[in-house]
Structure formats: structure tokens, C-alpha cells
A and B are shown apart, each in its own frame.
Chain A
Amino acid sequence: MRITQGTFSFLPDLSDAQITKQIQYCLDNGWAVNLEHTDDPHPRNTYWEMWGQPMFDIADAAGIMMELASCRKAFGDRYIRLSAFDSSSGWESVKLSFLVNRPKNEPGFRLRRQEGHGRNMRYTTEPYADAKPEGERYAV
């Protein structure tokens, strides 16, 4: 099951050229770009691991693409998310966030049913991937 999260998530995955253009748009607006990665695709997993620090004072998208390439090299089997932060109002707020990398094989989610009192049903979802410990979830 293909995970959808952030902007452009219902489009086919962006090519590197398209990602570069999006990044350049962010930089031209003066936003700081940050990379994060995770191997827990649960939608409530909000806080991903940061890849380095958010990148401030960068003029050209090539700098960020260089960082993205090294992040993919290290964590190519995980989800990588690119976020852009706008600080013009005095605090950093996310203006754009989208996935730039995903595992080759995404097994999707299991729906768990729990019978409670009086034939009450409780539902929860859990990713098949997180049956394995962190770091081994998408390894081929």
C-alpha cells in the first residue's frame, strides 16, 4: 500500500528534477529546508529522525540535493521527508512538506479488531513493517 503524506502525495513520485524545482521555490521564498527520515510509517508518527540540521542561508537547490543524495545513500530503504520552514512571522512554520523517498516495498497496514464489553468493537491499525525492530523493517 502506497503511503500518502504531505503535499503531492497523490501524484506519482517526483523526479529529482522536479524535487530540485520545488526546493528552489522554497529557497527563493527564503524558507529553510530540512530533511527527516523514518522507517515507521504509522500516520501518528509525527516526529521523524532529523538528517542533520535544517539548512539555512542556502541560495541554490544543488546544496540541498547534495544532502538528499547522502541521506538516500544512508537511509535509502526508509521514508525521507523534505519540509520547508518559513520564519518570516517570527517563528518557524511548515510551509511545504512532501516525501522524497520511500521503501521499494510497502506492505501496508493491518486492521486489528478488539471485542469489548457488550459486543463493542475497537479498531486500530498497525503497519506490517513495525513487526520487526527499527532499522530492519524495510531491509531487503
Chain B
Amino acid sequence: MSYLDQLNTGAKSKDAGPPDESKLDIGTSQGGADALQQPPATTVDLHREYEEAGVKDVLDELDRELVGLKPVKKRIRETAALLLVERARRRLGLAYETPTLHMSFTGNPGTGKTTVALKMADLLHRLGYIRKGHLVSVTRDDLVGQYIGHTAPKTKDIVKKAMGGVLFIDEAYYLYRPENERDYGQEAIEILLQVMENHRDDLVVILAGYADRMDKFFESNPGFRSRIAHHIDFPDYTDEELLQIAVGMLERQHYHLSVEAERILVSYIEHRRVQPHFANARSIRNALDRARLRQANRLFESDAGPLDANALSQIAAEDIAVSRVFRQKPGQTADSTSPEDGGPGDGPEERPS
């Protein structure tokens, strides 16, 4: 696709109906480039900048799509304001240094860290702090090699791929294993620190993980702490928020809950929260997946003649009520071999280690 084609599609999608994000991106980034080529301005209209850079779209999207997370949204708003002002200052010749943008997201599993990181990449791209705006999500396995001399090329490969975008390191504390002094993780950490310092213009690193373990990680790696400007803490969802998330998830897949089922789901959330391996929204997603499985089986086995769209898309109370969560005492480990609850269970992704 030629440059002109891209511009045209960008313009078209702006005019017509639902905006396509990727195409809009091209449009706005071109606009940003034009603005930079203009002679230095003497005044800056922050509100116009805010609208034109598309920051508003991203923040609105964040508000709309993510339930709860008030403090996170507030922090992102503040960060966006800072970056916008910084950009305006740069335009007036008041600032030349790229601000440190590396961040750490701490919070329990399933609290939306990856989702917010995606939005953050989009935001930074629209503000022109990163050139491409893609997110490369990695864990220890992608960075650390298996034998001597394997780690450096592996880490560098990932860094190369993340250039121009955001490098999201999930469960970053696994990089540092103090109990094994020959662990190759240290090598990856050194390369990352170097890149975070020397390529500040080229990529943004976001470290994510549980709050307490991240704190320990930062304590033993002070280099990371000093290079990270923004620490954002993700709170757990409340029960009402989880219910709202569940309803939203089902709506997106064109399912709905019967009144009875919704009541059962509320008590399911209460029960599930006190059990081990609770992973907030992810647990809810898995529970809904299992409910869909049971619904399908129920419809198949009851064999009640032709089904209409409503029957096919309604989750009934019994689809949730048979969950083993209700039969367990709080604090007891889930028995993953329970036959009634086989299938896509509380998979390994929910386990804390």
C-alpha cells in the first residue's frame, strides 16, 4: 500500500461510520509529523492538542471498556496530561529531553494490566512518544536462554522487535532468581537496563507483576527502580464490578443471563473470591466459559425440539449452580480432577506460580 493510499483510507475511515483504529492511527500520526515541520509556534492550545492527538479517544475508550480501576484511570489521565504538556513544551523549545516513560504495573492477576498496557501503547503512539505503538508481551522464557551465551542474543532479539513500541514484561520478578547465582536472568536484566537507558527514545518498557514480589524485585535491582518513572497499582475488582464485567463479557458474545442465573452468579463471585487462585476478571471469564460448556451440554441432552435464538443464548441458573465452587469450603484447594467440572477448568494460567 502506498503512502497516498494509506492517507486516503485513513481519511475515509474517519468520515464513514465506525472508526478503524489502525487506519486512524496512520492518519493521526501523519498529522503529528506535519505539525512538527511547521515553524515553531509561540502559543499552544492544550485542549485542541488533546482532541487532535486522539488522546481523548483513547481515554474515553479506556473509561468505556474497562470497568472499575478508578485509581488506574486517574493515573493514566495524569500521565497523559504530563506527556501532553511535555510535548507542548518541546514544541515551544522549552524541553529537549525525552521524559522517562518506563512504567511498572503492579496488581493481582486478572486486574487488567495487559489490557491497560495495550491502551498505554496506543496513547504513547498518539502522543508521538513511540513511533509504532505495538506491544510486545514477553515473560522470562522469552528473554532468558538455556545455556551460556544464549541469553544475550535472545534478549536482544526481543528488544529489537519491541523497538518503536512497548515491551511488556509480565511477571518481571522471575528474571531475578537470588537463590541461584549462576542464573542467566541477571544477564537479561543487564541488557534491559542498558536498553532502558540508551534507547529511551526508541522503546518503553513496562514491568508487570504482583505487588509484593515486584517490591522485592525492585529492592534487589535498584537499577530498575531508578529507571522507572511511573508506578501504577491495580486494585482488585469489587464483587459488583466483577458482575458488571461478567455481563459485559456475555453481551459481547451474544449471551445473556436469566434473572435467576444472575443471582447465582453474584453468590458464585462471593464464594470464588475466598478460594485460592482467584484471578479477578480471568476467573470470571473461565467460569463463564464453563457455564457456556454446561449450557451447550444441557441443550444437547435435554433434546427439547427446535430451539430459538433466546434458548441458545440464555445462561440458566443451573449452568452456574453446579460449579464445584459452591461445594468447597473457603481456603480449600480446588480439586482439578473433579469429574463434574472437567473441561476448561481453573487452568494453570490462574496459578500464582
Contacts and interface: CB of A to CB of B under 8 A. Distances in A.
Contacts of B163: 58-63, 66
Nearest to A63: B160
Q: Give 4 nearest A-B pairs by CB, closest first.
A: A60-B164, A63-B160, A63-B163, A62-B202
A15 to B, nearest CB: 17
B132 A59 contact: yes
B271 interface: no
B159 interface: yes
B199 A60 contact: no
Contacts, number: 41
A58 B161 contact: yes
A60 B159 contact: no
A59 B158 CA distance: 11
Give the secondary structure class of B's interface.
loop
B153 A52 contact: yes
B161 A63 contact: yes
B134 interface: yes
Interface string B116-158: 0000000000000001101000000000000000000100100
A90 to B, nearest CB: 20
B27 interface: no
A31 to B, nearest CB: 14
A55 interface: yes
A62 B199 contact: yes
Interface string A49-69: 000100101111111101100
Nearest to A56: B161
B165 interface: yes
Interface string B149-192: 00001001001111111000000000000000000000000000
Contacts of B159: 63, 66
A63 B201 CA distance: 12
Contacts of A67: 156, 160
A66 B199 contact: yes
Interface in B194-222: 199, 201-203
29 contacts: A52-B153, A58-B160, A58-B161, A58-B163, A59-B132, A59-B134, A59-B161, A59-B163, A59-B164, A60-B131, A60-B132, A60-B165, A60-B202, A61-B163, A61-B164, A62-B131, A62-B163, A62-B199, A62-B201, A62-B202, A63-B161, A63-B162, A63-B164, A64-B160, A66-B159, A66-B163, A66-B199, A67-B156, A67-B160
Contacts of A61: 163-164
